Amino acid sequence: MHLLINPLGALLLTVTVSAAPVAQEPADEPVLLIKAEKVIERPGKVIENGQVLVRGGRIVAVGTDVDAPDGARVIEGKVVCAGFIDAWSSFGLTSGAVRSTDTKPHTRSVDAFDAFSGEDRRADALRAGVVAACVQAGGRATIGGLSAVLRVAGGEGLVLLDDAALGAAVGLSGDAFEQVGQVDSLVNQIGAGLKYREDWVEYRHELKAWQDKIAEEEAKLEKDSKKAAKDRDKKKKEAEDEGKEFKEKSYKEDRKPKVPKFDDEKEVLARVAHGEVPLIVQARGVVELRELLRATRDFDRLRLVIAGGADALHVAEELVARSIPVIVHPAPTGGPDVDLSLAGRLAEEKVEVLLGSGGGDELADLPLLAAIAIGHGLEADAALHALTLGAARALDLADRLGSVSRGRQADLLVLDGEPLRSSTRVRYVLSNGQVVVSPED
């Protein structure tokens, strides 16, 4: 750990933790065997009377007849499922970072994470089954910088991704003309990132051609050196006989291609333009949504995600056609314009729905928000997908989180009933293979 002044200008405690996959533990490391009446591998795929074997922080076996070594700790419950992921939060970030409008594309939200704040909220979130959260600084800035996905329990493996997405916001203020201008400003910056990447690709192509030509000329000179020497001597003698000055011809090397100037902001924007990092844009109204979709149509690799999307039903057809998910925050306290049926209605139109705490830090409310969405038309499986595999896929973590599958990291819930029902309680929570919540809590 170390203190630094981050790009937001605040003194912060930065926690640097490797996000690499957990190393294989020794063979004598404690093993967990979870037994349940139902193992939900992913929404729609269930194993009745199943078991899950966990070793070294990872799921090593899932099935109905899993062998466990002697001495394995056995945990039992009615249902096992993947831990919940909040796709839209500011959990653990300093208040200054959340409110900042001075963020840049390369601003890292993880640098504004306070590892020692909000212990009560952290404990409440874990008891509610929330194991990870995508956190974003500069929540109202046109470009908020790189979001991070963090484990709620902290500790080893805290940072799952420090560049999960580029966050942005458009249309949150101003009239219709200003909102369109905000969208165009964002898209123009992404276009500049695309041009920056193209310049580098062209430079590398030109450099390779230049190097090949130099090598070819050098090989030719070497091959023809003897003949060239004879020709030179002959021409030199002819010049002397004629009383003329002899001038040697020298090989003129082509000019080496010029290296483009490095730009760390455009580096991030280029990654976004090429789909290497998703772009999560907070947008509500139909004006900015339509302009955002129109202005990004030519970016065929861009992976766009809408956060909020109050008027997203008006553009549902294009959202489906372009596989653009919408992160919904179905909060009853969100104001008179909040449509608690939005998640269900979008899902009916075949739009992929994700769920988040609306850029706040109250992660414990996430299952309640999902239950509200279910009560207003969202199917239970769709809600579970939104909190598990859907969120993991959108944030490039599906190979690590979001499902109860062999090889995935063991971030799991053991429940006493069906997920997201008001009567269901979380009995155990595993984070990175460690039991962080148990009935005694």
- For 199-237, the DSSP string reads HHHHHHHHHHHHHHHHHHHHHHHHHTHHHHHHHHHHHHH
Average pLDDT score, the chain: 88
pLDDT confidence band for 11 (50 / 70 / 90): very low
Residue 58 domain-assigned (yes or no): no
Residue 43 domain-assigned (yes or no): no
The residue range of the domain holding 307 is: 11-15+82-194+263-437
Name the β-bridge partners of 55. 31, 58
CATH number, residue 160:
3.20.20.140
Query: 328: alpha, beta or left, given left = phi > 0 and alpha = psi -120 to 50?
Result: beta
The residue-averaged pLDDT of 154-171 equals 94
For residue 9, the model assigns a pLDDT of 39
pLDDT at 74 over 70: yes
Residue 397 domain-assigned (yes or no): yes
The tokens describing 331, both together, are 């909060």
- Domain tally for the chain? 1
pLDDT in tens, 246-287: 555 555 567 888 899 999 999 999 999 999 999 999 999 999
> For residue 403, what are the CA distances in angstroms to 49, 50, 182, 393?
17, 14, 37, 10
For residue 12, the model assigns a pLDDT of 40
Please indicate whether residue 302 or residue 217 has the higher confidence score (pLDDT): 302
The tokens describing 164, both together, are 């999960």
Q: Give SS3 for 12.
A: strand
pLDDT at 108 over 50: yes
For residue 13, the model assigns a pLDDT of 37
Residue 34 domain-assigned (yes or no): no
Residue 287 domain-assigned (yes or no): yes
For residue 335, the model assigns a pLDDT of 60
Residue 37 domain-assigned (yes or no): no
The tokens describing 245, both together, are 């000055």
- Which residue is listed with tokens 């959202």? 319
Residue 249 domain-assigned (yes or no): no
